[in-house]
Chain A
Amino acid sequence: DVKVTQSSRYLVKRTGEKVFLECVQDMDHENMFWYRQDPGLGLRLIYFSYDVKMKEKGDIPEGYSVSREKKERFSLILESASTNQTSMYLCASAVFGLYEQYFGPGTRLTVT
């Protein structure tokens, strides 16, 4: 079974802090994705990556950056956390060329 893990299930940070969310997958997938999930808005794509050191902006990249130094790991960075970034963050991975994505359990981030 594909396993996607995220570094924390719950995280509380203060406004202005730099926040790192880590995602690791164990199936050698080329594609990795970061989404945020908010009530009534569904899933919105923040960034995605096709390969190591490759990244592309999704629909809502403002206030976020990403890093992919190794194939299995995709990090989401909030350079200066703000309260409007309080949300559920979901990571996913997929085989290159296929649409089927496998999701991690999510990180619920609260910025106070």
Chain B
Amino acid sequence: GDSVTQMEGPVTLSEEAFLTINCTYTATGYPSLFWYVQYPGEGLQLLLKATKADDKGSNKGFEATYRKETTSFHLEKGSVQVSDSAVYFCALGGGATNKLIFGTGTLLAVQP
């Protein structure tokens, strides 16, 4: 069945460092791909999305490109801030049921 694999955390970076969180997927057909962010003590918020191959989603300085040839949707940010500290979830939406399949989440800790 469909699945999402994302890199294990925690990822610890210094402020202004470059961020990459890897996400790969397995799916039949042409899924939509999402990154959600969960700040401490809160629910998940949609960060960005891409609905077809080669689409780039972007928001708040974060970017991810839908790569069908490598079945990947890696999250990147050029310069992280302490306020970016959160758990990041990669998710896949496909099929007729409108359900999302989530990765296990990656904790990002940014130190000043």
Which residues from chain A sit less than 8 Å from chain B, CB to CB? 4, 31, 33, 40-43, 45, 48, 56, 58, 90, 92, 94, 96-106
Contacts and interface: CB of A to CB of B under 8 A. Distances in A.
Contacts of B94: 99
Contacts of B45: 103
Contacts of B93: 99-100
Contact of A42 (B43, B98, B103): B103
Contacts of A4: 43
Contacts of B100: 99, 101
Contact of A99 (B32, B42, B44, B89): B32
A2 to B, nearest CB: 10
Nearest to B107: A39
Given A100-B34, A103-B45, A106-B43, A43 B89 contact: yes
A11 to B, nearest CB: 15
Given A100-B34, A103-B43, A48 B99 contact: yes
A94 B105 CA distance: 21
Contact of A45 (B41, B42, B99): B99
A42 B4 CA distance: 11
